[in-house]
């Protein structure tokens, strides 16, 4: 039978070969879709036993050749699969893995984990830098995708469960090794932080060594202003939420007794021009200045007295005032 099949397949064309494989796949898929868990295990057990027997007899070179062939075959198959096919394959793998691990004993789990550690260690010891970066990039992508579809609480619960299960199965020696590794990582982090601070100090000193006298003086002045601002007891409205150059002058009452270096008072020094004119004495006033400040609304002599007072002021500038007392000029009182 095998001889006839081998002879028949050696004579078939490429199209016939692909057609036969396609028919076999459909038949196998239909058969496996309707089988129960017991039927599936019954079918897989002889395959596993046969595979174990064959692999126990293969040499190291044969195993490496088989693994390399499997990798190439899997790479070709996965390169052509669609996103839906990939998700279906991964979902099926997860289901099979969960079903298999739910039935394994504690000893079997420990053996599996130990075997996985050794296999991962051997694989990572021989990988190149490019392979390592590709593996880590793939792990980050999978982790990001997995965490994007779960909320923080679910992830934390899953992590706690995994850690609790892992620590409940570890021996005293493994617990001590884990704690020793954690202590070593902690001291390494402290050393890294100290090294980082030392490097930052050296870098800042190197930068400041290249400053000119003007740059150094400007930095000292800025530091002084920052310290003064931090030490000021400002009101709630003039809180330190503003920058040094942007803190506004909000509370003007009593500001003369509470000078704040963080406020640019010069920006508020423009009170406008003398645009208002008094209707009684023609005096110019600032906008917002109350009525009556110049002539009490015309009660202090009117335009004639205002003109006389204006002439007196002009005479002070050219020295033509007729009245002099002891070398001092004196203007007549208007009120």
**Residue 89 vs residues 130, 215, 236, 254: alpha-carbon distances, Å:** 27, 65, 63, 77
Residue 236 above 50 pLDDT? no
Residue 103 above 70 pLDDT? yes
User: Are 309 and 321 in contact, with CB atoms under 8 Å apart?
Assistant: no
264/46: higher pLDDT: 46
Q: How many CB atoms lie within 10 A of CB 295?
A: 23
Instruction: Note the pLDDT tens digit of each residue in 177-213.
Output: 889 988 888 888 888 888 888 888 888 888 888 888 8
102/300: higher pLDDT: 102
pLDDT band per the 50, 70, 90 thresholds, residue 225: confident
Residue 245 above 60 pLDDT? no
**Three-class DSSP labels, 258-309:** CCCCCECHHHHCCCCCCCEECCCCCCEECCCCCCCCCCCCCCCCHHHHHHHH
Residue 228 above 80 pLDDT? no
170/241: higher pLDDT: 170
196/239: higher pLDDT: 196
Task: Tell me the C-alpha distance between 276 and 253, whole Å.
Answer: 26
**Lowest-confidence pick of 1-15, 87-101, 169-183, 203-217:** 1-15
Q: How many CB atoms lie within 10 A of CB 248?
A: 13
Angle CA 90–125–106, to nearest 5: 55
Give the pLDDT score at 159: 84
Give the pLDDT score at 1: 67
Give the pLDDT score at 310: 60
Query: What is the rounded average pLDDT of the residues 307-325?
Result: 58
**What are the residue ranges spanned by the domains of the chain?**
1-40, 105-169, 172-209, 225-267
- 191: which 2 tokens? 């050393």
Q: Measured in whole angstroms, how far is the alpha carbon of residue 102 from the centre of its chain?
A: 39
Give the pLDDT score at 329: 45
Residue 330 above 70 pLDDT? no
pLDDT band per the 50, 70, 90 thresholds, residue 321: low
Residue reference for tokens 């893995």: 97
300/156: higher pLDDT: 156
Residue 311 above 70 pLDDT? no
Task: Tell me the C-alpha distance between 335 and 333, whole Å.
Answer: 6
Give the pLDDT score at 317: 58
Query: What is the rounded average pLDDT of the residues 105-118?
Result: 86
Positive/negative CA dihedral, 252, 256, 258, 260: positive
Positive/negative CA dihedral, 11, 16, 21, 25: negative
User: Are 221 and 185 in contact, with CB atoms under 8 Å apart?
Assistant: no
pLDDT band per the 50, 70, 90 thresholds, residue 309: low
**Lowest-confidence pick of 134-143, 169-178, 257-266, 305-314:** 305-314
At residue 212, φ and ψ (nearest 5 deg) are -85, 175
Query: What is the rounded average pLDDT of the residues 68-89?
Result: 87
User: Are 264 and 245 in contact, with CB atoms under 8 Å apart?
Assistant: yes
Give the pLDDT score at 241: 47
> What whole-number percentage of the chain has pLDDT above 70?
83
Query: What is the rounded average pLDDT of the residues 10-31?
Result: 85
pLDDT band per the 50, 70, 90 thresholds, residue 319: low
């Amino acid at each position: 039978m095998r001889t006839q099949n081998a002879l028949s397949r050696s004579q078939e064309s490429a199209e016939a070969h692909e057609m036969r494989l396609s028919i076999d796949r459909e038949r196998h898929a239909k058969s496996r879709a309707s089988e129960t868990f017991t039927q599936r295990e019954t079918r897989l057990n002889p395959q596993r036993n046969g595979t174990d027997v064959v692999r126990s007899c293969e040499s190291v070179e044969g195993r490496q050749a088989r693994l390399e062939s499997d990798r190439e075959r899997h790479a070709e198959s996965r390169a052509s699969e669609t996103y839906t096919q990939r998700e279906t394959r991964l979902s099926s793998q997860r289901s099979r893995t969960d079903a298999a691990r739910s039935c394994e004993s504690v000893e079997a789990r420990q053996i599996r984990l130990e075997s996985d550690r050794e296999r991962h260690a051997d694989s990572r010891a021989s990988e190149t830098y490019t392979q390592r970066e590709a593996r880590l990039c793939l792990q980050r992508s999978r982790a990001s995708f997995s965490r994007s579809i779960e909320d923080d609480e679910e992830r934390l619960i899953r992590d706690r469960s995994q850690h609790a299960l892992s620590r409940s199965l570890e021996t005293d020696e493994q617990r001590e090794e884990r704690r020793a590794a954690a202590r070593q990582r902690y001291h390494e982090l402290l050393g890294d932080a100290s090294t980082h601070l030392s490097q930052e100090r050296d870098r800042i000193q190197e930068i400041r060594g290249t400053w000119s006298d003007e740059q150094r003086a400007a930095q000292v002045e800025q530091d002084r202003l920052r310290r003064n601002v931090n030490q000021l007891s400002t009101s709630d409205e003039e809180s330190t939420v503003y920058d040094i150059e942007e803190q506004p002058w909000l509370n003007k009452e009593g500001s003369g007794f509470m000078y704040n270096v963080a406020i640019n008072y010069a920006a508020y020094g423009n009170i406008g021009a003398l645009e208002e004119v008094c209707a009684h004495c023609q005096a110019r006033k600032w906008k917002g200045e109350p009525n009556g400040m110049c002539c009490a609304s015309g009660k202090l002599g009117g335009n004639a007295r205002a003109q006389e007072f204006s002439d007196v002021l002009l005479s002070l500038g050219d020295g033509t005032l007729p009245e002099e007392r002891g070398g001092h000029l004196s203007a007549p009182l208007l009120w």
